[in-house]
Amino acid sequence: MRGSTTAWRRCTLALAVPMAAVALTTAGPVSGTAEAATSTRSPALIPASDRQVRFTADGTTTYGTVHIPAHRAGHRLAAALLIPGSGLTDRNGDQPPASTPHTLALFANTLGDDGVMSMRFDKYGTGRTGWGRYQNSDHIDMAAYTRQAVAAYNTLRAQPEAAPNELLIVGHSEGGLQALLVSRTVRLKPAGLALIAPQATRLLDAVDYQLAGILDRLVTSGELSPQQAQLNKAGVSRAIADFRAKRQVDTSGLLPFVDFLLNGMFGPHNATFVRSDDAIYPPDIARRVARGTRTLVTCGTADTNVPCRTTPPLLTALATAHTTGPGLRILPGLDHYLHPAGTPANDQMIAPAAQRTLHDFVRPWQHLTAS
């Protein structure tokens, strides 16, 4: 991916030895003839492990990791597909070397604590997968990423430890929208969806409010006048309207970083993807979620990428679909990476409140880890 691609996507939605079984022997009372000792044996405990997997979508091999928590032999486990956010985000939720919060790897560990196995994968353009048949970002669209995620879901379902009727999808940021798209597409519907700080609006609406927020903060810090901020806000909205209408986009006169981001998005290396993502209104997809699906939606009050004010239409759509579960969980003081506000983005941690929310989401499936 060219430098411009990486830069604008960071500023948008991503702005990531078996234990021996113990034989219990009891001897009955001796009464004339010896009674045979009886023994019971519990299933062997299989320790936690990671399995490297690969699968093919659209003629390209995708590489991923299946995390299998400790479990008793023969027990099938609830299994969660982890879908990364926007941009060049790999299986761990990182965009190395600049951004390494390890979000998805931490999700895998948190779910594993509850006995839920998971699978995460290097989306196109990242990690071992690379671009494959696409060669670069020029012609890839949202549907290609959805097909890749669907193939990942089917690969997870086929794992020998996975309970086929206890499949979950956990998506972060843009991955939340992908979770909805995968749920709509697959034949065997997931039992649960966790939409973590999900993309809840059209992509370019998100870009509009994110850039407006940046400009407002520059005014507050004294680095920009209110008039300059208003001029740039109007220029961003005009550029978005022109791009959507397939007119020539003019960013002249805007601040250099705004001009750079918009031209990176609307240029030849990203226009196909941006147009295909922006055509999707997430609540429209949410209304098609299967009735009874256990659903979680989170928003952090310090999240400037996906503010809580953007989620009501998505929540209404999920209610219309008659989903169940925790529903909305507001995370006070947490940012887009589930860090307390002010925490460096590369800190590899998830705040305890976010961990508790994930634990609550998978509560109905914890019994599958019977020890």
Helix or strand holding residue 298 (H, E): strand 294-300
pLDDT digits (tens, 9 = 90+) for 76-85: 999 999 999 9
CA 361 to each of CA 229, 259, 297: distance values in angstroms, whole numbers, following the listed order: 41, 41, 10
pLDDT digits (tens, 9 = 90+) for 197-236: 999 999 999 999 999 999 999 999 999 999 999 999 999 9
Fold of 49-202+280-369: Rossmann fold (3.40.50)
For residue 40, the model assigns a pLDDT of: 58
For residue 22, the model assigns a pLDDT of: 25
Burial (0-12, 13-18, 19+ Cβ within 10 Å), 196:
buried
Omega prior to 69 cis, within 30 of 0 = no
Low-confidence ranges of the chain (pLDDT < 50): 1-12, 14-39, 368-371
Pick from 245, 56, 281, 273: nearest CA to 148? 56
Cβ atoms 293, 190 nearer than 8 A: yes
Helix or strand holding residue 6 (H, E): helix 3-11
Q: For strands 60-68 and 49-57, give the pairing.
A: antiparallel
Cβ atoms 336, 173 nearer than 8 A: yes
CA 161 to each of CA 45, 46, 60, 254, 340: distance values in angstroms, whole numbers, following the listed order: 13, 11, 26, 54, 35
pLDDT digits (tens, 9 = 90+) for 86-143: 999 999 999 999 999 999 999 999 999 999 999 999 999 999 999 999 999 999 999 9
For residue 370, the model assigns a pLDDT of: 40
Domain with CATH 3.40.50.1820 in the chain: 49-202+280-369
- Look up the pTM and report it: 0.88
